[in-house]
Amino acid sequence: MSSQADTRGRRTSRNTRRLAFGAMFTALALIFSYVEFLIPLPVPVPGIKLGLANLVIIIAIYRMGFKYAFTINCVRIVASGLLFSGVFGMLYSFAGGILSLLVMYGLYRTKLFSMVGVSMAGGVIHNLGQLITACLMVSSIRLMSYFAVLLFSGLISGILIGILAYHIEKRLPSDIR
């Protein structure tokens, strides 16, 4: 009986710890979204952002798994949409965020790509998801001509976020998993 209660206590402690880290990651992703909302990039091109919140999502994929990363991403998108960008911003964020999360997790699972490679794909796919949503909303495929610009910006931001995520993830305590 004692060992069974001890095992249950350790599992509860581990779950509580993961929940606390998940909440901290969600808060951090929301803070990064707010910082991006406040400080626009010096590039006056619509739709281009650094994607700071993706830093948290990539680390969550590597450290906590898909379910936690998905939950963190969804809560962040809804909260930042309600606070900063409105319903349409939330719609674009969901399209890009969920699509990029699925692709990043799939690439992570293959073990063929580094964290930087996974992040690059996430940046490009996030932009593609948002562009497809825009095409559907205005019923015009012509917006896809803008993909070349978004492809380049997604690659650059993906590289930067991936490098940052790699260095941060190495320094996190190993018992987050």
- CATH at residue 107: 1.10.1760.20
Contacts of 127 (CB under 8 A, 6+ apart): 47, 96, 147, 150, 151, 153, 154
Q: Pick from 115, 35, 29, 106: which is nearest to 74 by CA? A: 29
pLDDT, tens digit, for every residue of 22-63? Answer: 999 999 999 999 998 888 777 777 778 889 999 999 999 999
- Encode the chain (177 residues) as per-residue pLDDT tens digits: 456 655 666 667 888 888 999 999 999 999 999 998 888 777 777 778 889 999 999 999 999 999 999 999 999 999 999 998 889 889 999 999 999 999 999 999 999 999 999 999 999 999 999 999 999 999 999 888 889 989 999 999 999 999 999 999 999 887 766
- Single pTM value for the model: 0.87
What is the per-residue pLDDT for 45?
A: 72
Burial code (b: 16+ CB inside 10 Å, e: under 16) for 57-84 equals: bbbbbbbbebebbbebbbbbbebbbeeb
| Domain, as residue range, for 28 | 2-176
Q: How far apart are CA 148 and CA 134, in angstroms?
A: 15
What is the per-residue pLDDT for 34?
A: 92
Counted domains in the chain:
1
